[in-house]
Amino acid sequence: MDLTFASISDIAEAVQNKKVSAKEVAEHFAKRIATLDEKLNSFTTKNDQAIKDAEALDTRIAKGENVGPLAGVPFGIKEMFCTKGLKTTAGSKILENFVPPYDATVVARLKAAGIVVMGKLNQDEFAMGSSNETSFHGPTKNPWKLDCVPGGSSGGSAAAQAARLVAGTLGTDTGGSIRQPASFCGIVGVKPTYGRVSRYGIIAYASSLDQAGPMVSSVKDAALTMEVISGFDSFDSTTTQRPVPAWSKNLKSDVKGMKIGLMKEYMSGSLHPDVQKTVENSIETLKKMGAEIVEVSVPMSEFAVPVYYLIAASEASSNLARYDGVKYGHRAEFKNLSAVELETFYGKTRGEGFGKEVKRRIMLGTYCLSSGYYDAYYNKAGQVRRLIMNEYLEAFKKCDVILSPVTTAPAFKIGERISDPLTMYLNDIFTTSTNLAGLPGMSVPFGLSQENLPIGIQLTASHFEEQKMLDVAFALESASPVKGKNPHVI
Amino acid sequence: MSYRGYEAVIGIEIHVQLSTQSKIFSADSTSFEAGDNENTSPISVGMPGSLPVVNKKAVEYSIKTGLALGCDIRRKSVFARKNYFYPDLPKGYQISQYDQPLCENGSVTFKVDGVEKTVSITRAHMEEDAGKSNHHGDYTLINYNRAGIPLLEVVSGPDIRSPAEAAEYARTIRQIVRYLDVCDGNLEEGSLRCDCNVSVRKMGDPNFGTKVEIKNINSFRFVEKAIEFEIERQIDAVERGEKIIQETRLWDPDKNRTFSMRTKEDAQDYRYFPDPDLLPLTVSEAMIEQYRKELPELPIARAKRFQEEHALPEYDATVLTTEKDLADYYEETAKESNNFKASSNWVMTEILRELKEANKSIKDSPVRPKQLGQMIAMIDKGAISGKIAKTVFQEMWQTGKEPAVIVKEKGLVQISDPGAIEKIVEEVLAANTKNVEEYKLGKKAVFGFFVGAVMKASKGQANPELVNKILQEKLK
């Protein structure tokens, strides 16, 4: 069995049936990480215990224990997730040496399902960025083209997965942070319905938008991983009590009679010709498979990017207040601490600990929430958000799944946009409205640019209708022109 | 009330610590005795990734308090974040309620110097407490045990007009939350904390003066004293032509004065917004009805009932209902004795005195209400005299034995057999012939001597009424 390209389900089955040991699997991927990650900078912390953890699994399997549906599958976890005993920095200096005493609920569930944590993956600082260039650990490179960004904020997860340094990864998506890097790196990334997956133990960026999801190599792997991480968590009041469907088992590539919505607003913008072509190809493919294409409209999505940045920055300004140097993380050095005024202490600690982009958003958010501005900004943004959601609900009366591009263009060059935050923010134009409306969304690879960079297709479904979205993705995957194509770096 | 032609306008915010087992947003213990930072988890110290989940019991206690204060309960209230930086605030914000509090528009009625007073309750909202900073010279240690303790902040309208009213208002709130068993009302441990807003204005002026907040006063006596001081201070300032500065002041109990803590210029912009980690708190009709049914009879209603049904004087009824346990004790005693006034007398005098001397609470009284009631019934039946009862009571207090057992063991039964008493009377008269002659010659005062002698001879057990009657007959 070729472990490098094996699917999550294949590895789990082989380990469970003792065709390969979890230890061998872990060793194989540990070796790939050791030799290839130097080029990518996708790992921030490697788990020194990974091989031992795998051995422990083998012992349990030898005893006849069922160690779970993801037995021995090597995973990489985005820095945003707290991992017990394993450094978790959220890509920030302010959490430089933070080792959580607990696992995020999703990590705990994956571990209970038998995964082996290979290490932590790079990301934009506190998930603020679309290129992985704002990380305190330095930028991650796109394995398809090393001078390009892998996207962000889950760029480390996307790059590690695309280069097959692990068999599965976890990312978080606040405004497109799973879908955009998945598209840039040619993998499958799913952002589930808000409330489907527990946020407990995920370092908060914007609480009302954040949602965790799988970033993997196939639609089926995504469905399998989602089954493990989804479901009610008594530690997160925003999780749903709804049962978790058997997505992977129900998966079908038959889209005959399904209605695929094309959003008028998405198609009228200026798209890179290669992206345009990929979208057109996907539509043609679905038509041929018997799907019906209908036009839908979400006019308010025009305001999605500003509304997203107002809400996300506001919540972030509050969520990041706890990093003050008092209890953990970075603390500025002072010659005589006792003589320092509290505000000076906070100012210096936070001034040193946070990067430029994070500071920009804290300032923006603090301003939006200030008395006198709250109604004009945060409150108004909340109202528009509601309108966007209502328009989506109307649109989903006409179609099952909405198809759109993920981004306007394939991956851009490192350094190309970092000094221009507004252009950078517009990267998220196709992805943010999904988060504002709390809808599930995903990216599935369907094309390659002339420069050999991957291009994904975005699928969005109504609340808790992940199955429809996964089915369409499964159909597209089966007919994808990029099937079996991998980045040259591996 | 007028102070040198001025009127005081006072509003009070009371932080009621809800006596739940666990904190408002986590399973951490709330026990007061725990060691430093022992009652903490990633949630109450605000570790990255941790999330709050509302404690159901804290909601129940808050709704019950709201109902007892006559408030409207919001079917959908919202938790908000109040953002500010301080080392004892672990998350950089306090979760509180802001524009949509759980309870609103209530009122509370009480008496001050015999006059009834009603104070409106503007709102009562749920929030979490912060930790505690312990300052040691040039360094500070922080104990987060308090962080996340559930509080209900009860905010009065600006309806209070005197220090005495303020203190009585605060006592009434304490009494109600203790009746509800949602707060132990312990001011020293910080279970109840009062912030008073005080301003003065010329009598008749419809406009409010600038208000000053006096924070964290930890006794009702200090509430009274601090407000008294503040009224005088503010009138003095106004009279001197000075402007009152809007500020927060603290009470110094040693110097008997308030002093400035911070002025409004330092006031924070808290940047309130709905906490995205918590869904709106929804309360069903069924929940409210359930909690309403579970509400105990409150002190004022109970005192009124004691006056009407038990024919107790207002004074007795008020004293007996100061605490629920005391009122329960009285009521159980009365039920057993079937003599309301005698039960009230015994509870208010003997029981309360002994408890005070022993520094015990009514719950720990070694004499159970049933025992006291039985003893009172024995007096009424003539089985023991009032005087013997005192001895029986002391014995009950010491040993906790049943009154009937004590009477039997000690042979304290009252002699009510006229034949037996007649015999003793005859003996006494025979032994004191000289006194009998004096009595017959008109020295009526000697009668008391005979009564005493008979009682002594009977070891105090003779029924005094019978002794009187028989003596009078024999001396005719």
Q: Inter-chain contact B93–A318, Cβ cutoff 8 Å?
A: yes
Query: Taking phi first (over 0 means left), then psi (-120 to 50 degrees means alpha), and beta for anything else, what does residue B204 get?
Result: left
Could you tell me the residue range of the domain that residue A199 belongs to?
A: 1-489
Amino acid at B104: E
Contacts of A153 (CB under 8 A, 6+ apart): A80, A91, A123, A124, A127, A128, A129, A130, A132, A172, A174, A177, A181
Domain at A225, CATH number = 3.90.1300.10
Through-space distance between the first and last CA atoms of chain A, rounded to whole angstroms: 17
Structure tokens at A289: 């498979």
Determine how β-strand B212-217 pairs with β-strand B247-252: parallel
Whole-angstrom distance, CA of residue A192 vs CA of residue A190: 6
What pLDDT shows up at residue A265? Answer: 82
- Bigger pLDDT: B301 vs B456: B301
Determine the angle formed by the axes of helices A273-288 and A466-478, rounding to 10 degrees: 100
What DSSP character marks residue A378? I
Partner residue facing B271 (CB), from A102, A322, A366: A366
Q: Which CATH architecture has domain B418-475?
A: Orthogonal Bundle (1.10)
Contacts A310 to B, Cβ<8 Å: none
Per residue in B365-391, pLDDT (tens digit) is 999 999 999 999 998 887 888 888 998
Minimum CA–CA partner of B83 in chain A: A318
pLDDT at residue B443 is higher than 90: no
Whole-angstrom distance, CA of residue A153 vs CA of residue A129: 5
Residue written as token pair 């530690």:
A235
Annotate B387-417 with DSSP letters as a single string.
Answer: HHHHHHHHHHHHH---HHHHHHHHT---B--
φ and ψ of B147, to 5 deg: -60, 120
Partner residue facing A322 (CB), from B91, B138, B142: B91
Determine the angle formed by the axes of helices B464-474 and B446-457, rounding to 10 degrees: 130
Determine how β-strand B150-156 pairs with β-strand B247-252: unpaired
B132 in A contact zone (CB under 8 Å): no
Low-confidence winner among A61-70, B332-341, B455-464 (lowest mean pLDDT): B455-464
Domain count, chain A: 1
Question: What are the extents of the domains in chain B?
Answer: 6-289, 297-410, 418-475
Q: Inter-chain contact A326–B48, Cβ cutoff 8 Å?
A: no
Amino acid at B284: S
Contacts B139 to A, Cβ<8 Å: 337-338
Average confidence (pLDDT) over B48-64: 98
CB atoms within 10 A of CB B248: 18
Contacts A95 to B, Cβ<8 Å: 48
Contact of B156 with B169, CB cutoff 8 Å: yes
Contact of B316 with B344, CB cutoff 8 Å: yes
Determine how β-strand B192-202 pairs with β-strand B212-217: antiparallel
What pLDDT shows up at residue B216? Answer: 83
Question: Quick one: pLDDT band at residue B413, thresholds 50, 70, 90?
Answer: confident
**DSSP-H helix ranges across B338-368:** 340-346, 352-358
Whole-angstrom distance, CA of residue B432 vs CA of residue B437: 9
Residue written as token pair 């201070």:
B233
ipTM of this model?
0.95
What pLDDT shows up at residue A356? Answer: 96
Per residue in A160-170, pLDDT (tens digit) is 999 999 999 99
Contacts of B168 (CB under 8 A, 6+ apart): B110, B111, B112, B117
Determine the angle formed by the axes of helices B369-380 and B324-337, rounding to 10 degrees: 40
Amino acid at A30: A
Minimum CA–CA partner of A339 in chain B: B138
What DSSP character marks residue B233? H
Structure tokens at A23: 């230890």
B79 in A contact zone (CB under 8 Å): no
Question: Quick one: pLDDT band at residue B267, thresholds 50, 70, 90?
Answer: low
Each residue's pLDDT, cut to its tens digit, for chain A (490 residues) gives 899 999 999 999 999 999 999 999 999 999 999 999 999 999 999 999 999 999 999 999 999 999 999 999 999 999 999 999 999 999 999 999 999 999 999 999 999 999 999 999 999 999 999 999 999 999 999 999 999 999 999 999 999 999 999 999 999 999 999 999 999 999 999 999 999 999 999 999 999 999 999 999 999 999 999 999 999 999 999 999 999 999 999 999 999 999 999 988 877 668 999 999 999 999 999 999 999 999 999 999 999 999 999 999 999 999 999 999 999 999 999 998 888 899 999 999 999 999 999 999 999 999 999 999 999 999 999 999 999 999 999 999 999 999 999 999 999 999 998 888 888 887 788 999 999 999 999 999 999 999 999 999 999 999 999 999 999 999 999 999 999 899 977 6
Q: Inter-chain contact A318–B271, Cβ cutoff 8 Å?
A: yes
Which three-class secondary structure state does DSSP give residue A339?
helix
Confidence (pTM): 0.91
Contacts B51 to A, Cβ<8 Å: 199-200, 235-237
Query: Taking phi first (over 0 means left), then psi (-120 to 50 degrees means alpha), and beta for anything else, what does residue A105 get?
Result: alpha
SS3 content of chain B, % helix, strand, coil (to 5): 40, 25, 35
φ and ψ of A247, to 5 deg: -55, -45
**Which residues of A are annotated as catalytic?**
78, 153, 177
Question: Quick one: pLDDT band at residue B456, thresholds 50, 70, 90?
Answer: confident
Cis, peptide link before residue A218, omega less than 30° from 0? no
Contacts of A388 (CB under 8 A, 6+ apart): A298, A300, A301, A303, A304, A307, A433, A436, A437
Per residue in B166-212, pLDDT (tens digit) is 999 999 999 999 999 999 999 888 899 999 999 999 999 999 999 99
Through-space distance between the first and last CA atoms of chain B, rounded to whole angstroms: 66
Nearest C-alpha neighbor of B331 from the set B318, B319, B322, B344: B344
CA distances for A154 relative to A76, A77, A120, A176, B127, angstroms: 11, 10, 11, 9, 35
Contact of A212 with A127, CB cutoff 8 Å: no
What pLDDT shows up at residue B415? Answer: 77
Contacts A101 to B, Cβ<8 Å: 42, 47
Structure tokens at A462: 């109504």
Whole-angstrom distance, CA of residue A167 vs CA of residue A117: 11
Q: Inter-chain contact A101–B42, Cβ cutoff 8 Å?
A: yes
Q: B420: burial class by Cβ within 10 Å (0-12, 13-18, 19+)?
A: middle
What b/e sequence results for A62-86 when a residue is b if at least 16 CB atoms lie within 10 Å of its CB, and e otherwise? eeeeebbbbbbbbbbbbbbbbbbeb
Minimum CA–CA partner of B144 in chain A: A327
Partner residue facing B49 (CB), from A200, A238, A371: A200
Contact of A245 with A467, CB cutoff 8 Å: yes
Which three-class secondary structure state does DSSP give residue A64?
coil
Residue written as token pair 């009470």:
B251
Number of H helices, E strands in chain B: 16, 17
What pLDDT shows up at residue B265? Answer: 63
Q: Inter-chain contact B47–A207, Cβ cutoff 8 Å?
A: no
What pLDDT shows up at residue B291? Answer: 98
CA distances for A329 relative to A80, A81, A324, angstroms: 15, 16, 8
Q: Inter-chain contact A203–B49, Cβ cutoff 8 Å?
A: yes
Secondary structure of B263-312 as H, E, C letters? EHHHCCCCCCEECCCCCCEECCHHHHHHHHHHCCCCHHHHHHHHHHHCCC
